[in-house]
Amino acid sequence: DDDVILGEAGNDALDGGNGDDQIFGQDDDDSIFGGDGNDTLGGGTGNDQIFGQNDNDVIVGEAGNDTLGGGSGNDQIFGQNGADFLTGGLGVDTLTGGSGSDRFAILSSLSANQDIIQDFQNGVDLLYLTGELTFEGLIINGFEDNTQIIENSTDEILAVLVGIDPAEITPLDFI
């Protein structure tokens, strides 16, 4: 079923299950799970954990230091305010951190498709390498006005940093 779920004051745990859901945590530190379906998920205030899980989701952290994960599907993930951690997961995902020092997860090509990172701020945001990925195992390549992060051993594009000159990317941008 398609659900509309609104959290209340306090720390809520909200799960949409199946269907195209709209879930909004509102106040405090919430845990939100979209489940199956094309979901719209919003955290509100607080340090929220929001996971789209399956299908194509829109995930908005809003205020606070949020952990946001897309799961499978082509997701749109917006951190907005705060120091957020964004993971696209499977699919071609669009990640926008917003204001604050954000961390964007870069997943191995064996587990994900490329992510499009819209607003990487050099010297402010960081790229978080997962699994066996290392900076030395990457190719940093310019393409049009963007930077591609490519896994050297597979030639797979892992992420695209929109509007970033590849000469600006150094090991200091990765954790």
| 65-105 pLDDT per residue, tens | 999 999 999 999 999 999 999 999 989 999 999 999 999 99
User: Which of 37, 49, 44, 46 minimizes the C-alpha distance to 75?
Assistant: 37
Does 114 have pLDDT greater than 90?
no
Does 109 have pLDDT greater than 80?
no
Q: For position 110, what pLDDT does the model report?
A: 62
The residue type of 15 is D
**How many Å apart are CA 106 and CA 134, to the nearest integer?**
10
| 5-45 pLDDT per residue, tens | 999 989 999 999 999 999 999 999 999 999 999 999 999 99
Q: What is the number of structural domains in the chain?
A: 1
The reported pTM is: 0.95
* Average pLDDT of the chain, as a whole number: 95
Residues of the domain holding 99: 4-173
